[in-house]
Structure 1
């Protein structure tokens, strides 16, 4: 077998092992080291030192030299260097800090106050409870970036309230599932940090570029919710006075001041300090983590048990991301050394695709990968395969990253592997069926595809804010 054929066998074996359920990070490392040993094998280097042996050499001396020769392979140097490179990456330093902020905010008892306040504030809007749930999801998802936590918590809080208000179960379920996934797109998004580390694109430009597409998607969701409530009032009846009481303006302003504004100020201060160049993403993440702790103390929700849980979950998730990077970097280095990257590049160039056809093909592949894989695995493992092809089709990595971020919303919303639906089903009342949840998320899935089309047709949605803040 030629080296490129070995590289393709390496990729095929990895995909097969993933579908068999092997841990992805350790599978990448194991395959990278195994095939890397073959790629970098140097017989002379391995047997170097054995000429020092003679007939009087002991068994221990021979064994020691053999072990030394076995490990005298450049793949081990590469693995150590890649591990050090990942662990010292300044961009990834922001990941644990943003995660910690999210886990602290999740445990600060903010969401129930926020949903109740927005529910009262939007009482006269068609589909008011759905609008309140969607805005709460968007804010909470932005603050945490943890899809499972947002969908689960909002499912426990908002879904029973909407069902009690006679909302159609599929409609209510779709709102929570779609709103809970927004955190991986709207800054400060952990997914964008990971993409920046994988692609080398500036994280501050990515944050600026993702803001308008994120707001566009939220706007499409809200338009659908309000429009359907107007055209089909039976799916979202207007709340009664018992379900949502009326309050005086002063009381409403105080409720907003104590629930909506603290979380909004935290998010805007973190994001604003990054966009206006007042702090690096890591520094802003540290301020956000401190702000999350202050909010938890202010809401009297801080305890040693909650702090310990937040630290534990932060460390566990960060370790997963970092070891995925280590495995991916090792795997991709060996894959490229064997000629796999060049072979893929030649194959794609031989297809004679236009830039639009290439983008459609790439997004289709990422869409399909979203069924069996998490967003972190797609960004760290498979997106780097497309990055060397972007100059060939004159595609900006910044623009490509925003399309990928929009596309990854679908990985949580596409049946039969829609993870947000399973998160919700796990805590929903027994009468809410999984098929109803699937039915409810399909219109929101259509909104995601519509937003991708709008962004492609009007690319200034992506480029406007980076141009305003940082120039072209």
Structure 2
């Protein structure tokens, strides 16, 4: 077999192994080192020390030591160590654990239940008021955490039973929770965008600026759908009964000031510091983590147990992301060295695609990969295969990254592997069936596809804010 054929076989074996359920990070590292040993094998480096010791009539122990030393005298081990150090020293990735810690500590600060209760009262006169309140709460909480499972689970425990109690249609209510919980991987400060920036080399501040309006566009489409659907079919979202005692306006303002305002100020402060160059993403993430601690203390929710859980979950998730990077970069380096990247590039160029056809093909592949894989694995492992092709088709990596962030919303909403639906089903009442949650998510899937079409037709939605803030 030629080296490019070995590279293609390497990719095929990897896909087959992860479909069997093996841990992806360690599979990447093992295959990278295994195939890398073949790629960088140098018989002289391996056997010369052993032969010299043999010629000198060395004892058995010395011969074994020289053989072991020769076996490990392969450049793949140097590459692996260097890649590990490069990932752990990456300035962009430093923001990941800090943003994660901010999200986990906010999740445990009992802010979300007060926020949902207040917004439910404030939006009482809007059709589908509880669904609107749930979506806004999901968007804020998802933006603060960036962790889809945490948002869907917590809102499923908090808002979903409240909507069912208010006689909301099960499909309508479940769709709101599933769709709203995924917004955090698109709206800055998004951890997914940080990982994409580290993978692609795109400026994270420009990426954040570019993703802000598309994220708000998608959230706006969700809100419009909820209000229009609740207006046309009032039975899906019955209006709440008027309370016996009306809440004074000043009291409502105070409730918003103590629930909505603190979390919104925290998010806007972090995002504003990044966008306007007042702090690097890592510094802004540190401010956000400190702000999360201050919020938890202000709400009297900061206990040793919650702090310990937040630190543990942060370390676990960060370790997963970092080792995925180590494995991916080792794997991709060997894959490229063997000529696999060139094979893929020549194959795609040979299809004679237009830029639109290339984007459609790339997004279709990412859409299909979203069924068996998490977004982190798609961004770190498969997106680098497309990045070298972008200049050939004249596609901006920033625009490509925002399209991917929109596309990955679909992976959480599309049956049969819609993870948002499974998160919600895990904590939903027994009478709520999975098929109902799937059906409730379908209209929001259509909204995601519509937002991708709008972004392609009007790309200035992504380019306008970076251009205004940073110029060309």
- RMSD between aligned residues: 0.8
**1:245: Cα distance to partner?**
6.4
Q: In 2, distance between residues paired with 1:112 and 1:55?
A: 77
Q: In 1, distance between residues paired with 2:241 and 2:145?
A: 32
Q: In 2, distance between residues paired with 1:82 and 1:426?
A: 38
- Whether the aligned pair in 1 keeps the contact of 2:53 and 2:66 (CA below 8 Å) is no
Q: In 2, distance between residues paired with 1:68 and 1:48?
A: 11
1:155 aligns with 2:156: yes
- Whether the aligned pair in 2 keeps the contact of 1:144 and 1:183 (CA below 8 Å) is yes
1:272 aligns with 2:258: no
> What is the 5 A alignment of 1:66-77?
66-77=67-78
- Whether the aligned pair in 1 keeps the contact of 2:142 and 2:182 (CA below 8 Å) is yes
**1:45: Cα distance to partner?**
1.0
- Whether the aligned pair in 1 keeps the contact of 2:172 and 2:440 (CA below 8 Å) is yes
Structure 2 residue matching 1:130: 3-state secondary structure:
helix
1:435 aligns with 2:453: no
1:396 aligns with 2:396: yes
- Whether the aligned pair in 2 keeps the contact of 1:199 and 1:397 (CA below 8 Å) is yes
1:450 aligns with 2:450: yes
- Whether the aligned pair in 2 keeps the contact of 1:213 and 1:455 (CA below 8 Å) is yes
Change in CA separation of 1:59 and 1:70 when aligned onto 2, cut-off 3 Å: same
Cα deviations across residues 391-443 of structure 1 (Å, max 9, x unaligned)?
01000000000000000001100001000000000111111111110010000
Tell me the residue number matched to 2:239: 238
- Whether the aligned pair in 2 keeps the contact of 1:120 and 1:245 (CA below 8 Å) is no
Cα deviations across residues 308-343 of structure 1 (Å, max 9, x unaligned)?
000000000000000000000000000000000000
Structure 1 residue matching 2:187: 3-state secondary structure:
coil
**1:57: Cα distance to partner?**
1.2
Give me the TM-score of the superposition, normalised by structure 1. 0.99
Change in CA separation of 1:295 and 1:145 when aligned onto 2, cut-off 3 Å: same
Tell me the residue number matched to 2:229: 228
Tell me the residue number matched to 1:181: 182
Cα deviations across residues 53-109 of structure 1 (Å, max 9, x unaligned)?
336310001001100100110000100000000000000000000000000000000
Cα deviations across residues 426-464 of structure 1 (Å, max 9, x unaligned)?
111111111110010000000000000000000000000
- Whether the aligned pair in 2 keeps the contact of 1:120 and 1:246 (CA below 8 Å) is no
> What is the 5 A alignment of 1:340-379?
340-379=340-379
Q: In 2, distance between residues paired with 1:214 and 1:44?
A: 56
Structure 2 residue matching 1:390: 3-state secondary structure:
helix
> What is the 5 A alignment of 1:452-471?
452-471=452-471
Tell me the residue number matched to 2:137: 136
Tell me the residue number matched to 2:199: 198
Q: In 2, distance between residues paired with 1:422 and 1:73?
A: 45
- The answer for unaligned runs of 5 or more in structure 2 is none
Tell me the residue number matched to 2:85: 84
- Whether the aligned pair in 2 keeps the contact of 1:133 and 1:158 (CA below 8 Å) is yes
Q: In 1, distance between residues paired with 2:401 and 2:157?
A: 33
**1:52: Cα distance to partner?**
4.0
Which has the higher mean CA deviation after the structures are superposed, 97-106 or 56-65? 56-65
- Whether the aligned pair in 1 keeps the contact of 2:124 and 2:130 (CA below 8 Å) is yes
**1:247: Cα distance to partner?**
1.1
Q: In 2, distance between residues paired with 1:94 and 1:411?
A: 25
Tell me the residue number matched to 1:282: 282
Tell me the residue number matched to 2:411: 411
Give me the TM-score of the superposition, normalised by structure 2. 0.99
Q: In 2, distance between residues paired with 1:207 and 1:16?
A: 35
**1:350: Cα distance to partner?**
0.3
Q: In 2, distance between residues paired with 1:60 and 1:136?
A: 67
Structure 2 residue matching 1:237: 3-state secondary structure:
coil
Tell me the residue number matched to 1:62: 63
Q: In 1, distance between residues paired with 2:140 and 2:322?
A: 27
Tell me the residue number matched to 1:107: 108
Q: In 2, distance between residues paired with 1:444 and 1:397?
A: 26
> What is the 5 A alignment of 1:306-345?
306-345=306-345
- Whether the aligned pair in 1 keeps the contact of 2:132 and 2:226 (CA below 8 Å) is yes
Q: In 2, distance between residues paired with 1:246 and 1:441?
A: 35
Which has the higher mean CA deviation after the structures are superposed, 43-52 or 168-177? 43-52
Q: In 2, distance between residues paired with 1:55 and 1:261?
A: 78
The number of residue pairs the alignment matches comes to: 471
1:94 aligns with 2:95: yes
Q: In 2, distance between residues paired with 1:246 and 1:116?
A: 15
Q: In 2, distance between residues paired with 1:273 and 1:408?
A: 26
